[in-house]
Amino acid sequence: MSAFVRQAMVVARRDFTAVVATPTFLLFLLAPLFMILMSLLGVTGAAQIADTSQDKTRIGIIAAQADGPLLVAADRRLRNVLPDDLQPPKLDIIPQHGGQSAAVAQALLALPDPNYVAVLYGPLERPIILKEGGRRSAYLATLAEQVLRDRKGGVAPGAMLSIAQTADQKVQTASASSEHATGFAAVFGIFFLTLLLAGQSVGMLAEEKSNKVIEILAAAAPLEAVFLGKLIGMFGVALLFVGFWAGLAGTGIALSASFLTLPPIAAAVGLPAFLLLCALYFTMAFMLLGAIFLGVGAQASTMREIQMMSLPITIFQVAMFGLSSAAAGAPEGRLARFAEIFPFSSPFAMAARAANEPEIWPHILALGWQGLWVALTIWITAGLFRRGVLKSGPGLLSALRRKR
Amino acid sequence: MTDDRPVWAEGLIKTFGGTTAVHGVSLSVPRGMIYGVLGPNGAGKTTTLRMVLGIIDPDAGQRALLGHANPREVSHRVGYLPEERGLYPAMQAREAIAFMGALRGLDWATGRKRAGEMMEASGLGHAVDRKIRQMSKGMAQIVQLLGSIVHRPELIVLDEPFSGLDPVNQEHLESLVRSERDRGATILFSTHVMSHAERLCERIAVIAGGQRRFEGTVDDARGLLPMQAHYVPCDRAAEAGTMLPSGASFDGRAWRFTVPDGGAETLLMALISAGHGIAGLTMQRPGLHEAFVRIVSDAKQADVAASA
C-alpha cells in the first residue's frame, strides 16, 4: 500500500470511528425511522379525518319502492368497477311519498348530519339532481341510466349475465415505461442518499480547524490524502447507514412477501448489473459531491459560515437531481446526453441509463470519467484549502502552468 | 545537502500577501545535535520550520530534509510538534498518540503499546485511557509531544515546545529532549526563552526580521559580548573607579565593568600598584539572554539603516 493511500486510510479510520462511536450516531442512524413514524402518524391522522368525513357524506336517490332494489344492485356493480380513490359517497335510497320530492331533496341537502352532497329525484327517464355547488352529479345520472337499461333488458336485480375468469401471466419483456420508472427510481434513490449523507462532509474540516489538528495532519500527510481519507471515512459511515436500512428493508420485504406485491424492477442491463451499477454510481456521486462540499466547507472558518454554505450546496444537489430526472424521462434526448457527461450529474443520469439502455461499455467509460473528476475535485479543493488556511502554494493558474 | 545534515536550507524566502515573513534564511543542522532556532515573536521561526518540513513551500531557496529535496518523502522519519497545539478532544490519550504514529507509518497496535509505555514513563500512566478534553493543558501537551515521537523519528522538530508548560513539565520536557538526542535523534526546536536554549542547545541560529542574524554555539553567541568583571578592592574602593573603564558601576563595595579588548591584566596590575589591591575578582561572559538581546537590537538597527 502506498504511503498516500495508507495515510488516507488512517484519516478515514479516525473519522469513521469518531462519527460511529458516539451516541449521536444512533440518532443519525435512526433518523429515517423518525421520519417514517412521523409520516405514518400524519397519514393515519389524515386518513382518520377523511374517513370520518366520508362516513357522514351521502348521496341520495328519492325513488319509487320498485326501483329501490334495481338501484342498489346497479350501485354495487358500478362500485366494483371504480378504484378506491374514485368511490362515490355512500348511497341512500329514500322512498318516494307523494309529490313532495323536490322539497324533500332540498331538506336532505340542508341536513348537517348525514351530509347529503347530491340528491336525485323525479322519474328516472328525466331525473333532477340537486347538488352542492362544485360536486359532480355524473354518478347518480349513470345509476339512473343503468336501472333503466336493466329494466328494459329484463335483468333481475343482482343477476350477472357474464361471469368472467381471470388468469395472471408474467411478462418477460419490460415495457419502456417501467424502465423509465426504474430509471427515475434509481436517480431519486441515489439523490436522496447523497443529499442525506454526502452533505455531512461540508463541516468535516471544522473540527480540525477549530482544534488546530490540521497542522499535524498537514505535516504528516499530503492534504490530498487527508481530503481523500475524510471522504472515505464519511463514505464508510454512509455504507453503514445504507447497509442498516437496506437490511431492514430486505427483512421487511421478505416477511411481507406473501401479502405484498412489489412493482417489478425493469432494467435494460439486467437486474444484477443494474444493482451493481447503482452501487458504483452512488459511490461516485458521494465522492464527487462530497469532495465539493468538503472543499467548500474547508474555506469556512466558523459554524455560521458552514451553515451559510449549506444552502447553495443543497440547491446545487437539487439542480443535479432535476437535470438527471429530466434525463431519465427522456433517455434519448440531448439533455440526457448532457446530464450523462456533466460530471456532477453523471452518476445519477448514468444510473437512469442503466435502466433504459442495455450497453455496458458506456458505464465503464462513465465510471472512469467520474473517477477522474473525483481526483480533480480533491486536488483543486485541497489546493484551495492549502492557500486559504495554510497560506501556501501557488495560484491555481500558475499551478496548472507548472503541471504542463 | 548531505546526509550528515538532517536539516539543510539555503536562502529560503516566503512572502504572505506582500509581507516578507522569511528573507533568505539558511540552516544547516548536524546529525545527532540539539539545535535551537531562536528569535523574537514574529521573527519568522515558525514559517522557516514549516518550509523546512514541507508544510508550506518557499517562494525561493532550496531545502533538504534527511537528504531529500522533497520533505514529504521522509515525513515518516520526522516528528513535529507545532506551535499551535491540537488534538481531537474526544480521543483517548493512547489513541491520540497511536493515531499520530499511524499517520507517520507506525502500525496502530505498536503505536498503542508504545503510547502506554511512554505515558507510563512520563508519569501519565494513570491517564492513558482518559479523553483529551478531560486532561489539563500541560498533560495534553505532553501527550502531543509523545505522539510526535512515538514512531521514533530520526529528526524531531519542536516549535515553541515549552510555551504553556509549568516548570515541572518544562523540566520533564527537557529531559525527554535529551533522552531522544541520546537515542540518536536530531532535535530542532524553536524558542524565544533563552534559558531552555542555553541548557539544551549545542548550536543555535538566531532569526530576527525574517533573516538569520547568527549561527554557532551558545558560547559563540555569548562571545559576541565582552567579559564582565566583578572587582572588590582592598582599600579606598571608591577611588579605584578613576582607573576603571568608562561605564563602570559601583555598589558601595564592588565595581562592575566591561573588560577592555586587550584583557584585564594591565588594568589589574595598575590597580595593585596604586594600592587598591584585589580583595575579590570574578570575570564571566554575559548570558545567552544578553547576547540574544544584542543580536536582535543590532539587527533592528541594521534594518532601519538599510531602509533609510
Name the CA radius of gyration of chain B, rounded.
24
pLDDT at residue B61 in the model = 94
**Residues of chain A contacting residue B72, judged by C-beta atoms under 8 Å apart:** 222
**In the prediction, which pLDDT does A389 show?**
62
- Assess whether pLDDT exceeds 90 at residue A369: yes
Which residue matches cell numbers 505522539? B147
pLDDT at position A393 over 70: no
Min Cα–Cα distance to chain B from A301, Å: 16
CB-based contact (8 Å) between A397 and chain B?
no
Q: What pLDDT score does A404 carry?
A: 43
| Chain A residues with beta carbon closer than 8 angstroms to that of B84 | 212, 215
B72 and A211 within 8 Å at the Cβ level: the answer is no
B3, pLDDT greater than 70: no
Tens digit of pLDDT for each residue in A63-102?
Answer: 888 888 889 988 998 888 888 878 888 899 998 877 788 8
Mean pLDDT of chain B: 89
Residue in this structure with the C-alpha cell 450523462, named with its chain if needed:
A340
Given a cut of 60, whether residue A199 has pLDDT beyond it is yes
Whose grid coordinates read 514549516? Answer: B50
Query: What residues of A are in contact with residue B57 (Cβ under 8 Å)?
Result: 392-394
Scanning the structure block, which residue is given the C-alpha cell 425511522?
A33
Please tell me which residue, A332 or A6, carries the higher pLDDT value. Answer: A6
Q: Which residues of B touch A10 (CB under 8 A)?
A: 99, 102-103
Q: Mean of the pLDDT values across residues B181-196?
A: 91
Q: How high is the pLDDT of residue A6?
A: 92
Q: In chain B, whose CA is at the least distance from the CA of A17?
A: B91
Q: How confident is the model at residue A396 (pLDDT cuts 50, 70, 90)?
A: very low
- When pLDDT is averaged across residues B222-246 and rounded to a whole number, the result is 85
At residue A390, the pLDDT reads: 62
Question: Among A188-202, B82-96, B188-202, whose mean pLDDT is lowest?
Answer: A188-202
Task: With cut-offs at 50, 70 and 90, classify the pLDDT of residue A1.
Answer: low
Give the minimum alpha-carbon distance from B117 to chain A in angstroms, rounded to a whole number: 22
User: Best of A215, A217, A402 to disrupt the B interface by mutation (most B CBs within 10 Å)?
Assistant: A215
Provide long-range contacts, Cβ within 8 A and 24+ apart, for A80-88: A88/A59, A88/A139
Rounded Cα distance, A338 and A359, in Å: 18
Mean of pLDDT values over A363-387? 87
Q: How far is CA B201 from the centre of its chain?
A: 6
Q: B 61-100 residues with CB below 8 A of A?
A: 72, 75-76, 78, 80, 82, 84-91, 99-100
Which residue among A211, A213, A392 sits closest to B56, beta carbon to beta carbon?
Answer: A392
User: Average of pLDDT values for A347-357?
Assistant: 87
- The answer to whether the Cβ–Cβ distance between B86 and A393 falls below 8 Å is no
Tell me, yes or no, if A215 comes closer than 8 A to chain B by beta carbon.
Answer: yes
Which of B72, B80, B148 faces A222 most closely, judged by CB atoms?
A: B72
Per-residue confidence (pLDDT) for residue B2, from 0 to 100: 55
- CA dihedral over B119, B121, B127, B132, signed as positive or negative: negative
For A249-253, A256-260, A279-283, B147-151, which range has the lowest pLDDT when averaged over its residues?
A256-260
Determine the 3-state secondary structure of A358 from DSSP: coil
The predicted pLDDT at position B60 comes to 93
pLDDT tens digits along A105-144: 888 888 888 888 899 998 888 999 998 876 677 889 998 9
For residue A271, pLDDT over 90 is answered with no
Per-residue pLDDT band for B97 (boundaries 50, 70, 90) equals: very high
Q: Residues of A with CB below 8 A from B85's CB?
A: 212
Tell me the three state secondary structure of residue A26. helix
Q: What is the ipTM of this complex?
A: 0.78
What is the DSSP code (8-state) at residue B38?
Answer: E
pLDDT per position as a tens digit, A11-67 = 999 989 988 888 888 888 888 888 888 888 888 888 777 777 667 888 999 988 888
Q: Is A393 in contact with B82 (Cβ distance < 8 A)?
A: no
Of the candidates B57, B91, B103, the beta carbon closest to that of A220 is on: B103
Q: SS3 for A143?
A: helix
Query: At B207, phi and psi to the nearest 5?
Result: -110, 130
Residue B40's φ and ψ, nearest 5 degrees, are -70, 170
Give the model's confidence band at B65: pLDDT under 50 very low, under 70 low, under 90 confident, else very high: very high
Q: What is the pLDDT of residue A134?
A: 66
Over range A373-384, report the average pLDDT. 85
B227-263 burial: b if 16+ Cβ within 10 Å, else e: bebebbbeeebeebeeebeeebebeeebbebbbeeee
Residue B84 has pLDDT above 50, yes or no: yes
Q: Judge: B88–A7 Cβ closer than 8 Å, yes or no.
A: no
pLDDT over threshold 60, residue A401: no
d(CA B197, CA B206): 11
Which phi and psi (to 5°) does residue A14 adopt?
Answer: -60, -45
DSSP category for residue A342: S
Q: Chain B: residue nearest A14 by CA?
A: B99
Cell digits of residue A171: 411478462
